[in-house]
Structure 1
């Protein structure tokens, strides 16, 4: 496995800047998730590392080696695309075997059979091994696509929203399995998603991208608890961070325009009155939808709360975040 480094990587498509001076180090053996909305530069970053696209400026290093001029095959990476790409005339087994039959790898037949059986079991497609790819559902095709990457042992795995076409239960199962496979193998994995739950549960590091710029890089907990900007703060957390006028509770620091409150930063039972609009019982927790001085706030409370719509709850902030008019964090 290998460390991946991007140094000053910039890429434009005509007048549109996809990546701008991105510098980032993906540690050897880490599971790095790139977060950001459509157009933030997540997929372009994967394509820079894979060699499918070349930077206009900057360099990509894998294992300390400059990748300039090297083809995707020479980079020893395995990529899973958002849209599955399979050989339709081959069976599932043959699709999974295909990378292992490369003359470069020269994998023994017994090892091919073992790896294919292992990955098919993990991805819950063992019963489909002799089916043609065209006979599969969309979710099954995507699992086969993931499997084609996992049967190999490349320097780096690159995955572009690989679970997006799967149902909720299978996504949950495969999140656990992918993380387990990555941890057991010590693989370096760069993973793109819109799903913050995937980021929080799977990642060792998260890179937050905004319009081609890397705005923060760190552990999920670091970004959740110490965001550098309003934008970074909004990428993680469910329910989403509450944003209110900075002076709504008083005591805001100079230059602060907005106060950010995560659910656990709202203390209940003391402070000022808020009105309970709606109560959502979710089993392990209960969400409260509050109205406070004409502003809506969502927080969480005890799963067995007796609060109901129309009740009054007293609230106050506890160690909130403050942001200036441009969204930068105010100390």
Structure 2
């Protein structure tokens, strides 16, 4: 494994600026996730590291070596794509061994067999090695795609939303598996996702990306508790943070125009709070409920005790508890 450094890299496609002045380092053995919506430039950033795209400016270093002008095959990276991209006519074993048999590597056959079997055990697909790729379930195919990268033992693994096509239950299982494998191998991973749960549960650091720019990078806890602006605050948290006009509440510091209220920032009671709101809907989710409120014509969503006997039309009282504050431009304001 090796450290990867992206230094002031920019990339445009005609008039579209996909990546703008991106600087980022991924430490040896670190799991870094780039989090952002579709079109934010996340995949382009991966393709630049892989050598599938050439930057307009800036440089990329892997293991201290400048690889900006190197071909993809010379960069020692492995790419896991969003789609499985398996060879359907080959067995699981042959799919995983394919990269090791390339003329540029010439790995001995005994070593290939041992490596594939070792990685198959890690991924719990050792009993499927003789199956054709078309005989596998979606989750098994994704494991094979990940395994094909793992057998390479490259400097860095680049993963482009590899779990997005799986169902919710399987995504949860694969998140745990992928994090376990990364920890066991000490692998260096740069991972792209639009799913905040994937980023928060797997990554050691999260980089929030918007319109090709890296807005903020930090541990999941740092990004959640101390977002640099309202956009970053809105990327993490379930239910989504409530962004409300400061004028709705009394005692807000000067300069704060927007209040960012997560569920832990809102105290709910029948009376005695700062403002009153009307319940519009209750979503019962078992151990908790999502409470939808109307606060002065503004929608608010928070969590409520499922034992609370609240229903549409009920009045509740809200009190703020150390919320996040933002100025008119969305920048963070000190409480």
> TM-score normalized by structure 2?
0.92
Is the 1:139–1:165 Cα contact (8 Å) retained in structure 2? no
Q: Secondary structure at the match of 2:33?
A: strand
1:211-270, Cα deviation, whole Å (9 max, x unpaired): 111110111111110001111111111100001111211223333321111111112234
Q: Secondary structure at the match of 2:248?
A: coil
Rounded Cα–Cα distance in structure 2 between residues aligned with 1:184 and 1:139: 21
| 1:312 aligned partner | 315
Rounded Cα–Cα distance in structure 1 between residues aligned with 2:185 and 2:123: 17
Q: Equivalent residues in 2 for 1:174-253 (5 A)?
A: 174-253=174-253
| 1:68 aligned partner | 68
Q: 2:281 aligns with which of 247, 268, 278?
A: 278
Matched, 1:151 2:154: no
Matched, 1:113 2:113: yes
Q: Equivalent residues in 2 for 1:55-134 (5 A)?
A: 55-103=55-103, 105-134=105-134
Q: Secondary structure at the match of 2:78?
A: strand
* Unmatched runs of 5 consecutive residues or more in structure 2: none
Q: Secondary structure at the match of 2:98?
A: helix
Of stretches 8-17 and 308-317 in structure 1, the one that deviates more from structure 2 is: 308-317
1:172 Cα offset (Å) = 0.7
Q: Secondary structure at the match of 1:172?
A: helix
Is the 2:122–2:181 Cα contact (8 Å) retained in structure 1? no
| 1:258 aligned partner | 258
> TM-score normalized by structure 1?
0.93
1:93 Cα offset (Å) = 1.4
Question: How many residues get paired?
Answer: 331
Is the 1:274–1:291 Cα contact (8 Å) retained in structure 2? yes
Rounded Cα–Cα distance in structure 2 between residues aligned with 1:218 and 1:76: 26
| 1:141 aligned partner | 141
Q: Secondary structure at the match of 1:247?
A: helix
* Unmatched runs of 5 consecutive residues or more in structure 1: none
Rounded Cα–Cα distance in structure 1 between residues aligned with 2:177 and 2:288: 26
Is the 2:47–2:53 Cα contact (8 Å) retained in structure 1? yes
Of stretches 105-114 and 306-315 in structure 1, the one that deviates more from structure 2 is: 105-114
Rounded Cα–Cα distance in structure 1 between residues aligned with 2:181 and 2:139: 20
1:108 Cα offset (Å) = 4.7
Change in Cα spacing, 1:314 to 1:137, as seen in structure 2 (3 Å) is same
